[in-house]
Amino acid sequence: MHDAVNTAIRLRAATPDDEPFLIELRECTMTGHLERMGEPTDAESHRLRVRSNFDVAQIICCDSRRIGLLKVVRSDSVWRIQQIQLLPAWQGRGIGAGVIRDLLAQAHRAGVAVTLSVLRGNPALRLYERSGFRVAAETPIELNMTCDP
């Protein structure tokens, strides 16, 4: 895994014990963006989003600390990043870029495109653009982006 901060960044499968951390992560990283777009921010909405495709949820760890989440739903033709989130204290260190770079390298070897959606106004858009994603479609709420193999 990418060594952005001179520490070991790794991914591990999420377990049910991670759910409280994942709900807290979602609340602190997404509530402001969701409120701005008029989307639900209640506890149940956060819980449902965390539980969605939980079988593919991977915890981003720095050494032994949980610092983020990556969910990628994979098919034979496309991989969709459903969620990528880092705790605010860990953002801006190149960790997300490294996780995305590693995922894109795997997708390239598999010959599949990678897609994602980002809420309008979310500063993560710059990261996705720098990583090679381009806007493929737009809605009033979000941008749908793709990165070809």
Residue written as token pair 């801006």: 92
Specify the higher pLDDT residue, 121 or 98.
Answer: 98
17 assigned to some structural domain: yes
Among 103, 68, 71, CA closest to 86:
68
Q: What is the mean pLDDT of residues 20-28?
A: 91
2 assigned to some structural domain: no
Q: How far apart are CA 30 and CA 59, in angstroms?
A: 17
| Segment 60-93, tens digit of pLDDT | 999 889 999 999 999 999 999 999 999 999 999 9
Specify the higher pLDDT residue, 40 or 83.
Answer: 83
4 assigned to some structural domain: no
45 assigned to some structural domain: yes
Q: What share of the chain has pLDDT > 70, as a percent?
A: 95
pLDDT at site 2: 44
pLDDT at site 146: 97
CATH number at 126 reads: 3.40.630.30
Measured in whole angstroms, the distance separating CA 23 from the mean position of its chain's CA atoms is: 14
Please determine, for residue 8, whether its predicted confidence score (pLDDT) is greater than 90: no
Q: What is the mean pLDDT of residues 1-10?
A: 61
Looking from the CA of 21 toward its CB, the CA atoms found within 13 Å total: 18
Domain range for residue 131? 9-147
Tell me how many domains the chain contains: 1
Q: How far apart are CA 120 and CA 13, in angstroms?
A: 29
pLDDT at site 142: 92
β-strand 142-147 against 134-138: which pairing, if any?
antiparallel
pLDDT at site 7: 63
38 assigned to some structural domain: yes
Lookup: tokens for 104: 């894109």
Q: How far apart are CA 149 and CA 139, in angstroms?
A: 24
